[in-house]
A and B are shown apart, each in its own frame.
Chain A
C-alpha cells in the first residue's frame, strides 16, 4: 500500500471503515498494534472485525487467541454482527484458541515460562498460514500470578516473536489508572498504539478513537468519533473527505414557482444544498415542506428529518395549508424520520442518516432544523459533523435543504451552525417576520445562490390555505 517514495512502511488494511483513511492505509504490516481502552469500549469487537474483514475482504487468514471469552461465547456474540466464525473455522481461515486459566487450580512450584503459549500460537498460525493475529486480552495472564518479572519478560519475548513471524497482530489491553494499560504493555508495543474511549458528556454517550502513536507513518491526530452498529465499527474521519464531487447542471424547482423565478436559472441546481434561516415562526418548515412536496412530485424519494415535530403533527399541520404529505407518504415517496436531537449522540444521528441514505436511496433530504443538533454537542463537533454530512449528500448527488433557527434581533449570526452551514450551503434564503405599520409582514430574501444570479429584493409573502403566496411580484 506504499503510495509514495516517502511512505515506505507497508500497511495492512484494517477492515474498519474510516480507519484506513486516518492511518493512511492501515496498520503497520507484520507488526503488533496495541488497542487499549476501558471496559466496554469495543476492544474485542475492534479486534474481531480486523480479523474477520481480513479473511473475508483481503484473504488473510487469522488467529483469535482469546484470554477471556470462550470460543463458544465469541461465536455467539459476533453472530449478530454477521461474523460467521463457524464457517470461517470450517474453511480453515480462522482459528480460535481459548486460553483458559483457572487460577484456583494453579500452583506455582518453581520457575516457568510461557513456552506452551508460544507453541499453541505458533501451531495455530502455521496450521492455516495466518497473516493476522489477535490476542484479547493478554493482561489476563498477569492476574493472580506471582512472578511478574518473569511474565513481563515473556510478554516482551512474545511481541518480538510476533514481529519475527511477520504477522500483523492486535493486542488488546485494559486501560490503567495512570498508564494506557494496566501492565504497561505500551512499553513493549512501540509501533502503533490506538486508544478507544467511551464517555458520557451531558448524558450523551460518545465513543472516540485516537491514534496515540504510529511510528514511521503519518496519521490523523484528532479524536475521531466511532460507531458500533449491526455492521460493526465504523470510524468517522470527519475531515478527510475531499472536494471532488460532480456538480450537475440540471435545474430543479424549489416547490414555489414565484421563488423559482427569483433565480436567474428559474430554480436551483440539482444536488445543491439550500439553507433556510430565520427566527421562530418565520415559516421555515413550510418552505421546507414545499420543497419536499416538489421533490415527491418529480417522483423522487424524499427523506425528511424532523427534530421538532412528530411525523403525525407535521402531516396534520401541513394539511391545513394545503400541503398533502399523506399521499406522498402512502406512495412511499416521502419518508419522515422524527427524533429528539438529544435522544442520541451526534454520531448516532449521522449514522441513522447514513443508514437511511443507503436503505431508501433518497434524491432529496431535508433536515429541519439543523440548528437543533447544536444542542447535543460542542460547536466544533457539530461543525465537523455538518461538513461530513454535506459532503456525504453531495457525493450521493442528493438535493439537500436545511433549516436553521436564528435568534431575533441579532444582525450578525451568533449561532455557529449558521455561520458554518451558510458558508457551505450553495443557496441561502433568509426569512423574516417583522412589524411594519402595525402589521407583521413575512418576507424572504435570497442571500446567495452559487453559480447563478438571483433577485436582490426582499419579497413579502403570506401563508394561505394553499401554502406560501408571494404578495409582491418577483423581479430579476
Chain B
C-alpha cells in the first residue's frame, strides 16, 4: 500500500474475496502483497480471502471468466466486482470493495 488509509473502517457485511493470480509473476506477487496488507490493516475478521493460482487450476479461469491477471473477485457483498491489476491504486480498491474510511 503506497498510502496508508486512516480512520474508522466501515463495511457492509462480510467481504468474500477471491484473488486469481498466474503463478509467481511479479504482478501476481504485488497483488498478493497489496491485498494482504489491506486485510491486515483494515479488514481483520471481516474478510474471507482465497488466493487461487490459475496455472494450477486452468479450468477455474474459464469458469470464473477470468481474462486479466491478476484479478480480484468480490463475490460478496453484491454487486460482484472484478478488480484487475496489482491492486496498487488503494483508493480505487477501497471504493470498488465498498469500503469507506471515516
Please report A residues at the B interface, Cβ cutoff 8 Å: 97, 99-102, 105-117, 119-120, 122-124, 141
Contacts and interface: CB of A to CB of B under 8 A. Distances in A.
Interface stretch (B10-18, B43-51, B62-70): B62-70
Contacts of B66: 116, 120
A32 B88 CA distance: 36
B87 A109 contact: yes
Top 7 closest pairs, chain A to chain B, by CB: A110-B86, A110-B85, A123-B58, A115-B22, A110-B88, A116-B69, A112-B85
Nearest to B73: A105
Bin chain B's interface residue count: 35 or more
A111 B93 CA distance: 13
B88 A113 contact: no
A116 B60 CA distance: 10
Given A107-B81, A115-B25, A120 B62 contact: yes
B27 A113 contact: yes
Q: Is the interface of B mostly helix, strand, loop or mixed?
A: mixed
A116 B61 contact: yes
Contacts of B30: 110-111
Contact of B69 (A109, A112, A124): A112
Nearest to B20: A116
Contact of B58 (A101, A107, A110, A120): A120
A114 B27 contact: no
A100 B65 contact: yes
A115 B31 CA distance: 14
Contacts of A141: 67
A112 B62 contact: no
Nearest to B68: A112
Contacts of A111: 27, 30, 85-86, 88
Given A123-B58, A123-B61, A114 B69 contact: yes
A123 B84 contact: no
A117 B81 CA distance: 18
B81 to A, nearest CB: 5
B68 A113 contact: yes
B69 A110 contact: no
Contact of A107 (B20, B59, B62, B82): B82
B83 interface: yes
B72 to A, nearest CB: 8
A105, A109, A122, A141 — which one has the most chain B CB atoms within 10 A of its CB? Answer: A109
